[in-house]
Amino acid sequence: MLKADYWIERLELEPHPEGGFYRETYRSRRTCRFEANEPFGGERNHATSIYYLLKYGERSKLHRIHSDELWFFHAGQPLSVHVFPPEGTPSAFTLGDSPHKGEVLQEVVRAENWFGACHAPESAAKNGYSLVSCVVAPGFDFRDFLFAERAPLLERYPSFSAVIDRLT
């Protein structure tokens, strides 16, 4: 199996503020304009795409954006994505190549959900990693990116404290 450092070098990935490594691979030329009172408040590209790699022991910190984000599995260990909706019960899905184990090759995180990702402690070797792609529509813009604060999430979802502590 190829190592994480191979993919980081080969795909020219850089550290991501939420954790892990990434490189933007697509940004649509077309844009759409939103009214000032909408979450975006301005112009956004129709869609964007990135490669995203998370090494074992790293995490994608809980955050949210104003767009839907589609996740696609490519290589490595299964990756658990934890989702905390504004209303309702938190959920999780596991990206991977073993559907017989409940893993999926792709899944969507809806706009305005808090979400983050990590490897299950028992699921990955110490030198493991996950390589995925994420497509965001309307396109990603750091103006739409917000890290979660631990205390409000713990207050709202006390039975999910282990996951919240791990991802904040």
Q: pLDDT of 105-125, one tens digit each? A: 999 999 999 999 999 766 656
Sole residue written with tokens 């994608």: 60
Residue-range domains of the chain with CATH: 4-167 (2.60.120.10)
What is the reported pTM? Answer: 0.92
CA-CA distance, 160 to 152, in Å (whole number)? 12
CB atoms within 10 A of CB 116: 25
Q: pLDDT of 78-97, one tens digit each? A: 999 999 999 899 999 999 99
Sole residue written with tokens 């070098």: 9
Stretch 58-82: mean pLDDT, rounded?
96
Q: pLDDT of 130-143, one tens digit each? A: 999 999 999 999 98
CB atoms within 10 A of CB 47: 18
Check residue 39 and give its pLDDT: 73
Check residue 60 and give its pLDDT: 98
Nearest to 153 by CA among 93, 97, 82: 82
Q: How confident is the model at residue 77 (pLDDT cuts 50, 70, 90)?
A: very high
Stretch 19-39: mean pLDDT, rounded?
87
The Cβ-side half-sphere exposure at 167, using a 13 Å CA radius, reads 27
134 forms beta bridges with 50, 71
Q: How confident is the model at residue 42 (pLDDT cuts 50, 70, 90)?
A: confident
Contact criterion met (CB below 8 Å) for 23 and 13: yes
